[in-house]
Structure 1
């Protein structure tokens, strides 16, 4: 579980702490130095980094040739960077990684919510969250590259929730909605039920 002070200081304010914890549990890592590399549909075994320099060396080695995710949020390394040498070590800083990752995930949530017609019923959020995690892992949702897509400008928040062990276990479930996924990035995700407040979401 993430430290509450870290969540308060470093995460996107549009996401409630419960969503942040749930997001990191479903799609992130407990290790801020974690680097995951995937190519041609298979994970590449890389050494476990014990320092920020080691983690960044691994990232720079593979960025541009494979799908590289890094840090607590498994942020997509190399996004908007043309030269691997330009990558910054804040990717493996816990606070900066959370800040970047949660801000981008909030945008992904809004993209998915808009696709569903920005529903206002609280029952809609579990599916929206599930598909947003899927999109985060694959980089795509319904043919849209979510990491480059513009912010729809709506808001998705929760009132209260804390994922139980049973709910967390459900995160191994398969994605049920129809989505476009590349063979390099195919992964399973899950969902849990949450109480939500979608009242600020407007229609398409």
Structure 2
């Protein structure tokens, strides 16, 4: 589990802490020096880096030739960079990686949410999140590159329908809670401060 202070200080503020944790758990790594290299569907085995310099050496070796993911968020190394030599060591800095990764993932969420029609019901968010994680792992959504795509903006963004931290905690104790919830209770855009108590659902 990510340190709460790290999330507070480094994660993109448009994502709730619970969503940041979910994202890293689903698509990231617990090791800030982790480097994953893939060529097509094939995973290329690389030495486990022990230092930031070793990690960056691996990143620069394969960037441009294979898909290289790095750090806590498994950020796609090389996005927006023309030469491997231009890749910066902040990729393997836990805070900087979390900042860059969550900012990029927030954009991916907004792209997916827009495709869904920017729904305002929280019931839809699990599917949006799942599709966004898949897009993060593959780099594509509906045939387009999500990392290079323009940010659609957040006038009615995914973070508007993302569950609150309290709702997230309740959903862990009652995974079906979000489905049982009456759709009419779902907050509309602009009233995201509403909290729905799911803790008593299923209680005798």
TM-score by length of 2: 0.81
CA deviations over 1:170-204 (Å, ceiling 9, x no partner): xxxxxxxxxxxxxxxxxxxxxxx69986725xxxx
Q: How much is the aligned-residue C-alpha RMSD, in angstroms?
A: 2.2
CA deviations over 1:56-112 (Å, ceiling 9, x no partner): 000000000000000000000011111101100000000000000000000000000
CA separation in 2, counterparts of 1:198 and 1:147?
A: 29
Matches for 1:29-40 after TM superposition, within 5 Å: 29-40=29-40
- Would the alpha carbon gap of residues 116 and 48 (structure 1) be closer, same or farther in structure 2, given more than 3 Å must change? same
Which of the pair is proportionally richer in helix?
2
Gaps of 5+ in 2: 191-204
Q: How many residues align?
A: 176
Partner of 1:188: none
Give the conservation status (yes or no) of the 8 Å contact 2:110–2:151. Answer: yes
Matches for 1:123-202 after TM superposition, within 5 Å: 123-154=123-154, 155-157=157-159, 158-160=163-165, 161-162=168-169, 164=172, 199-200=189-190
Partner of 2:116: 116
Partner of 1:73: 73
Partner of 2:202: none
Give the conservation status (yes or no) of the 8 Å contact 1:34–1:49. Answer: yes
Give the conservation status (yes or no) of the 8 Å contact 2:118–2:158. Answer: no
Gaps of 5+ in 1: 168-192
- Give the CA deviation at 1:40: 2.5
TM-score by length of 1: 0.81
CA separation in 2, counterparts of 1:2 and 1:19?
A: 11
Between structure 1 and structure 2, the one with the greater Rg is 2
- Give the CA deviation at 1:156: 2.2
Q: Secondary structure at the match of 1:199?
A: coil
CA separation in 2, counterparts of 1:166 and 1:150?
A: 37
Give the conservation status (yes or no) of the 8 Å contact 1:122–1:198. Answer: no
- Would the alpha carbon gap of residues 53 and 165 (structure 1) be closer, same or farther in structure 2, given more than 3 Å must change? farther
CA separation in 1, counterparts of 2:50 and 2:174?
A: 32
Q: Which 10-residue stretch deviates more, 149-158 or 44-53? A: 149-158
Partner of 2:194: none
Whose relative contact order is higher, 1 or 2, with alpha carbons under 8 Å and at least 6 apart? Answer: 1
Q: Secondary structure at the match of 2:164?
A: strand
